[in-house]
Amino acid sequence: MDRELVHPFSKYLRSAMMPHIWCSGCGNGIVLNCFINALDDLQIDLDKLVVVSGIGCIGRIAGYTNADSFHTTHGRAIAFSTGAKLANPELEVVVISGDGDLFAIGGNHFMHAARRNIGIKVICANNFNYGMTGGQQGPTTPLESLTTTTPYGNIEHPFNLIHLAAACGATYVARWTTLHVRRLTQSIKRVLQKEGFCFIEVVSPCPEIFGRRNKMRTGLEMMEWFRRASVVENFSDPSKAEISSEKIVVGEFVNKEKVSYERLLHEKIAQINEKRVEW
């Protein structure tokens, strides 16, 4: 008797959306794999999960995840997620988006969501460029890197996303590459169990657009860079968490407890309602 082969994580994926459209060697599939592994390990209730993404290659992940999801306009993933979390704090709201979406047009939303400590979890797939729209230089493009808009080398200093998230008040901050699959999965599990604003940066290969202009023409060549350059420095100074051709500082940088904005908001609403009853 023939048996139908079923993928062990099929319940977390929308099979009608497969196969995915990501390029060969792209790290986005690894990010998705780590995410659904974390969901499965924790047995997260999919009826209480919301996955939000913005514009960019990784933005397709909202459509591939078998949960309530929303693919926002450019830079508005955190703004939308803020509304969802405040409307129903019982939801687990996860933003999975790219470096350009979250830190260029969406940078203001990121800073203030972290400052307010809104209980959403943000996972940034950082591929150092605008991979979907032609490979332009972005806010995380390393110095001297070649892109379609920096053909002689980037002269703009990039954001240190770890430093930015920590300085803005995130309760959990980590950086891994797509080479660090087990560590990344463990970090995602941690943020899914934490209160407040949490951030994970995932340095992800983009061999077709960024890599081939910077002498790394395949996903394996970019992974070799991650293997050679990555240094785990847990709870080190976020301001020194550099990314260069010679060194990529990875690890967990912040892990603290702080009351979330939505809890404070609903406690304040309850207090106001009690006073109204007394009046």
Angle (CA) 230-98-208 rounded to 5° is: 70
Closest residue by Cα to residue 176 from 127, 122, 230: 230
| 276 band by pLDDT with thresholds 50, 70 and 90 | confident
pLDDT at 144 over 70: yes
Pairing of strands 68-71, 49-53: parallel
* Amino acid 117: pLDDT: 98
- On the question of pLDDT at 122 being above 90, the answer is yes
Res 265: pLDDT: 94
Q: What is the pLDDT, as a whole number, of residue 196? A: 97
The predicted pLDDT at position 5 comes to 80
- Average pLDDT on 75-91 reads 96
Q: Measured between alpha carbons, how far is residue 61 from residues 23, 69, 122, 226 in Å?
A: 14, 9, 13, 23
DSSP, res 196 = S
pLDDT at 91: 97
How many Å apart are CA 209 and CA 202, to the nearest integer?
17
Average pLDDT over the chain reads 95
| Averaged pLDDT for residues 179-196 | 98
Which residue type occupies 35?
F
**Residues with Cβ < 8 Å from 139, sequence gap 6 or more?**
99, 100, 103, 104, 107, 158, 159
Please count the other Cβ atoms lying within 10 Å of the Cβ belonging to residue 168: 18
Q: Tell me the average pLDDT across 197-221.
A: 96
pLDDT at 1 over 70: no
Partner residues linked to 121 by β-bridges: 94, 198
Instruction: Please tell me the predicted confidence (pLDDT) of residue 145.
Output: 96
- Arithmetic mean of pLDDT, 129-133: 93
Please name the residues in contact with 18: beta carbons below 8 A apart, sequence gap of 6 or more.
64
Mean pLDDT of 4-8: 80
The whole-number pLDDT of residue 222 equals 96
Average pLDDT over residues 155-170: 97
pLDDT tens, residue by residue, 227-238: 999 999 999 999
Residue 2: the pLDDT is 59
Q: What percent of the chain has pLDDT over 70?
A: 99
- What confidence tens digit (pLDDT) does each residue in 31-51 have? 999 999 999 999 999 999 999
How large is the average pLDDT for residues 142-167? Answer: 97
Contact (Cβ atoms closer than 8 angstroms) between residue 261 and residue 119: yes
CATH architecture for segment(s) 10-278 = 3-Layer(aba) Sandwich (3.40)
The pTM is what?
0.95
Alpha-carbon torsion (200, 183, 20, 25), positive or negative: positive
Model confidence at 200, pLDDT cuts 50, 70, 90, reads: very high
Q: How far apart are CA 115 and CA 104, in angstroms?
A: 18
Whether the predicted pLDDT of 241 surpasses 80:
yes
Amino acid at 153: G
Q: pLDDT class for 275, splitting at 50, 70, 90?
A: confident
pLDDT at 277 over 80: no
How far is the C-alpha of 247 from the C-alpha of 71, rounded, in Å? 34
Residue with tokens 């979250």: 102
Q: Of 39, 113, 29, nearest to 76 (Cα)? A: 113
